[in-house]
Structure 1
């Protein structure tokens, strides 16, 4: 039968917590010894209990291990202070992109008619030409859409007229021949007499 997994969370009962701490600490120190022996590793372990009690284990002098750790940490920090070539390239790319975004934002503001002070006549003419080109494109596209809408409306108008004619024929046919020409003219107008006579 497999052992049931225990949820890892703080133990509320202080006595049970202290017992568990003692057992787990012994197990941790045992694993540290095994790691040092099996792998010929230099191990230093420091543990403080919840009550503030200090426990330590080291394969050699704890001071030597801590000094070695401090030197290693300083070397990592020194190496980390120098940006790598990749980071320098990324920073350069980021700077270029920021400049491009700033330039595009400035151009957009100019196109809106903002921040025009300080621009030369040549720059103002360039903006004017860009606006005229853009306006002509907008007007051309707008004209195309208007023509499309007119054509759609014409098609719908023709369809409505055809449906209207069909409906009139359906309405006129059953009783049209039973009415006199004067009654037809009074109801439907002069064109209906021609339809009946046909």
Structure 2
């Protein structure tokens, strides 16, 4: 039996001329990009900030924990302050582990 379609074809990487197709492709790819960023953040605990300007000059952003926090950390070059709940939890766990190890060493 012969195939009716050619299957999935490779898309040539050049700017689209059709404005309607350009907007649709931008929306789909933006959603896919934000979804992958969310997965990376969830699976690896990465802090992520993405800012995208659409062809229509609208701004879209995604950030975890938030765009502002990640940008401030990037611009300043300093590690984040232990203000977030997650950071406090990690630090408390670390302190507990250090305390337990110190107790084992002293015994």
TM-score normalised to structure 2 length: 0.63
Aligned to 2:50: 45
Deviations 1:36-65 (A, max 9, x none): 011110111111101110101111122111
Equivalences, count: 73
- The counterpart of 2:60, out of the listed 52, 55, 63, is 55
Aligned to 1:12: 17
Deviations 1:120-152 (A, max 9, x none): xxxxxxxxxxxxxxxxxxxxxxxxxxxxxxxxx
Task: Give 1:21 shift.
Answer: 0.3
Distance 2:7 2:47 in 1: 35
Structure possessing the higher radius of gyration over alpha carbons: 1
Higher-strand-fraction structure: 2
- The counterpart of 2:39, out of the listed 31, 34, 39, is 34
Residue segments in structure 2 that go unaligned for 5+ positions in a row: 1-5, 79-107
Aligned to 1:104: none
Residue segments in structure 1 that go unaligned for 5+ positions in a row: 74-198
1:65 is aligned to 2:70? yes
Q: CA RMSD in A?
A: 1.7
TM-score normalised to structure 1 length: 0.35
Structure 1 segments of 4+ aligned residues over 4 angstroms from their partners: none
Distance 2:77 2:63 in 1: 18
Secondary structure (helix, strand or coil) at the match of 1:27 reads helix
Higher-helix-fraction structure: 1
Distance 2:68 2:13 in 1: 33
Distance 2:47 2:23 in 1: 29
Q: Which moved more, 1:58-67 or 1:48-57?
A: 58-67
